[in-house]
Every structure is written in C-alpha cells, then in structure tokens.
C-alpha cells in the first residue's frame, strides 16, 4: 500500500545519493511519479471491492459534516432523536418546524468553524442553548413560549469558531 510507495521513493533517493543512479533521471522521475499516483487513484477501486455496507440514513437522526459546501435539511419525522452537525467553511440549514421530538426531548451538537449553521425550531418548543464561541457568535432568536405551553425541549450544544450559529 502506501508504505510500500514510501519505501520505493526513499530507496530511489538513497540510490541517487550513493551515485548508483546518475544522469538526467530527475527529469523523468517527477512526471512518472505523478502519472503513477494518478493511475493508482484511478485503478485502486478495481483491485479492492468495497466490502463495507453504508450506514442507513434515518430521518430521525442528524449526522452532517460539511466542508466547503452547504446543505439544507428539513425534518418531518414524528420522533427526531438528535445528532451532530459540523460546518467547516460551509453552511448548514436545519428546519425542524415539521418535526416532533422523541420523548419530547432531544439534543443536537452544532459546530461551525469558518462557516454558519441556521436552525429553525417550532414556536412551541423550548430551546436550551449551551454555547461557546471563539471569534464567532451563537445567537438564540427563537421566540420564547411560556413553559406551560411548550410541548418539547430541544437542547443545543453549540460551538462557533470564526463562524456563526443562529437559532430561529
């Protein structure tokens, strides 16, 4: 695998330093190395079939990791359980307005690093936010409802580093 490639490259440099390989081999080494790496990337899936099964995606769970892109996700499940969402140089929009919480409680962990996360929550949910931010902001703009009228509680652990998390 990758270790064998590193051994071959190290062996090549050792042969050059011992003057066993001389001449203009340097002119051909780097292009051949790039071509070999490209062929390895292209042909590798053919030699080793995928044996692992992809995990089942369930609407009642949240598991999002975004890098340099964005997603919008609307939850319609009657039993949302919680989960994690991380935005790294990207954006995530989560809409829970059509969802209900399993056992009337759920916890989500949100992390925004040089990115942003926006969470839409139904007005009859209580939102409890535990946040920390470094050169970022976590804003809870959710309209508070009297405790007697709340149906469910959503606990949010939010971390923002050079990014923002907004709860509406």
Dihedral angle computed from the Cα positions of residues 111, 113, 115 and 120, in that order, rounded to the nearest 10 degrees: 10
Per-residue exposure over 26-36, b if at least 16 CB sit within 10 Å of its own CB, e if not: eeeeeeeeeee
- Quote the longest CA-to-CA distance of the chain: 84
Helix locations, the chain, DSSP H: 2-17, 25-47
Query: What pLDDT, on a 0 to 100 scale, did the predictor assign at position 26?
Result: 65
What local confidence, expressed as pLDDT, does residue 58 receive? 64
* Tokens read off for 148: 């007697």
pLDDT top residue among 22 and 166:
166
Structure confidence at residue 9 as a pLDDT band (50, 70, 90)? confident
d(CA 65, CA 73): 12
Question: What's the CA gap between 140 and 130, in Å, rounded?
Answer: 10
pLDDT at 125 over 60: yes
- Helix, strand and coil content of the chain, in percent to the nearest 5, comes to 25, 40, 35
Q: Which of 134, 126, 135, 106 is nearest to 167 (CA)?
A: 126
The pLDDT assigned to 84 comes to 94
For residue range 32-91, list pLDDT tens digits in order.
777 777 777 776 665 555 555 655 656 677 888 989 999 999 999 888 889 999 999 999
């Amino acid at each position: 695998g990758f270790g064998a490639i590193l051994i071959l490259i190290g062996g090549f440099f050792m042969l050059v330093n011992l003057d066993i390989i001389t001449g203009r081999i340097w002119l051909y080494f780097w292009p051949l190395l790039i071509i070999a790496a490209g062929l390895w990337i292209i042909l590798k899936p053919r030699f080793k079939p995928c044996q692992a099964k992809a995990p089942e995606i369930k609407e009642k769970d949240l598991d999002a990791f975004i890098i340099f892109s964005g997603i919008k996700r609307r939850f319609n499940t009657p039993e949302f359980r919680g989960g994690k969402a991380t935005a790294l140089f990207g954006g995530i929009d989560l809409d829970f307005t059509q969802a209900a919480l399993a056992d009337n409680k759920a916890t989500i962990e949100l992390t925004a690093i040089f990115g942003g996360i926006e969470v839409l929550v139904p007005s009859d949910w209580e939102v409890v936010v535990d946040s920390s931010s470094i050169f970022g902001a976590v804003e809870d703009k959710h309209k508070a409802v009297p405790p007697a009228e709340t149906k469910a509680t959503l606990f949010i652990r939010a971390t923002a580093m050079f990014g923002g998390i907004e709860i509406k």
